[in-house]
Amino acid sequence: MTVLQMPGAKSPGHELLDSALSQLARAAKALDLDPGLARYLSQFERTLIVALPVTGDDGRLDVFTGYRVQHSTARGPGKGGIRFHQSVTLEEVQGLAMLMTFKCAVTDLPLGGAKGGVAVDPRSLSKNEVQRLTKRYTAAILPIIGPEQDIPAPDVNTDEQTMAWIVDTVTMMTGKHSPEVVTGKPVDLGGSRGRTEATGRGVAFVTLEVLRRQGKRPEETRVAVQGFGNVGSVTARSLAAAGCRIVAISDVSGGYAVPAGIDIDRAIEHARRNPARTLEGLAGATRISNAELLALDVDVLVPAALEAQITADNVGEVRAPIIVEGANGPVTAEADRALTERGALVVPDILANAGGVVVSYFEWVQSRAQFYWELDEVEKRLEIYMRRAMELVLAKAKAYDCPPREAAFIVAVERVAGAITKRGIFP
């Protein structure tokens, strides 16, 4: 589906990039960062744009555009997912790569930031066509990825099967078994236990910690979750298990509300059995739009779909006092300022949804060592990293008298800038 833009309107990708650059500038100012260093962090180390010819099942040749952007490798190899979506643009991938740099830094991972994407609606392709597209894309970006260069992972419309195809392509082209070239793989191909659920569990952990610090009981908390893919569904299930009432969920088919609370396990099973893999036809729920979901009178709103969902145009309708960013960049910079001014608490994406990259780091370590951990060890270590990052961000917020988002960027920018300074500028 083509999204029409009004003349002069910015695309969601531009909004995301502008928001990331705005947050970088605010953190640089707070840290009194050297202007040259700030300019360096606003640029991208490497950008690759590739043409991807794919022969369809009917013999017709289609050509898609793919991207891989590496923002910074000052703290370690690039790390970031690959998304297949019709709205993918260079600006979107750049913004996401920059966010990955700071997400890895705020959780103190020895990794940099990267991101990839292909402008395609995978629902319009057969499974075999998606496989051919994935393998062609992998071959095209192979010169700049690798376990010590840049490690891809799943993102929107990609999953462990996509990662398995990438591992196979790299192995065939290099003659070397390379499970560490990606994370988010199937467990029996070297993936980490708990990786699939990690992002959603991290979002739920942060949400519950915010509720605890505010003296709110989960049993008295109403939650709306926008987006019911891997992140949204796991977040909803984890919060429901903790006692929260999930009153609304949504996906590409629309929104579904049950004031008394949705049976999340049943909703997940419904989507799994649905031929379209959506919530379409969910019994016992009232149909609402995604816009109506964002405007619901709830205690917690978790936007876990795509970027730029809460903007200057609709922020006035958002009533939730706590917004936890399950997706990357779902709140634009202007909307974020408006929410902060009215007293809402926004837990930023680079902290809230960092659970996925934390366990991706664990998987990379395990794959390189060829020694794999049990699930309880993964979950225990994940909580340590998430709790440590959250406590540091909240401490910075108090020290700088600023919102959590600005505090998170201050932590991250300080770490990345420190790494660059200590390494020295080459040559």
- What is the largest distance, in Å, between two alpha-carbon atoms of the chain? 65
pLDDT tens-place string over residues 115-142? 999 999 999 999 999 999 999 999 999 9
pLDDT at 2: 35
pLDDT higher than threshold 50 for residue 5: no
pLDDT tens-place string over residues 324-345? 999 988 999 899 999 999 999 9
Q: Quick one: average pLDDT of 10-31?
A: 91
Return the domain boundaries, the chain: 45-188, 192-366+375-427
In degrees, rounded to 5, the angle at the alpha carbon of residue 24 between the alpha carbons of residues 20 and 29 is 150
Q: Which of 103, 115, 135, 185 is catalytic?
A: 115
Q: Quick one: average pLDDT of 300-317?
A: 94
pLDDT at 183: 97
pLDDT at 7: 47
- Whether 216 is catalytic is no
Compute the mean pLDDT over every residue in the chain, rounded to the nearest whole number. 94
End-to-end CA distance of the chain: 47
Fold of 192-366+375-427: Rossmann fold (3.40.50)
pLDDT tens-place string over residues 310-326? 999 999 999 999 999 99
Label residues 107-142 b or e (16+ Cβ within 10 Å = b).
Answer: bbbebbbbbbbbbbebeebeeebbbbbbbbbbbbbb
The pLDDT confidence band at residue 297, using thresholds 50, 70 and 90, is very high
pLDDT at 277: 83
pLDDT at 6: 42
Distance CA 52, CA 138 (A): 10
pLDDT at 276: 82
Other Cβ atoms closer than 10 A to 49: 12
Which CATH class name applies to 45-188? alpha beta
pLDDT tens-place string over residues 148-177? 999 999 998 999 999 999 999 999 999 999
pLDDT tens-place string over residues 242-270? 999 999 999 999 999 999 999 999 999 99
* Domain 45-188 and domain 192-366+375-427 have a common topology: yes
Q: Quick one: average pLDDT of 357-369?
A: 97
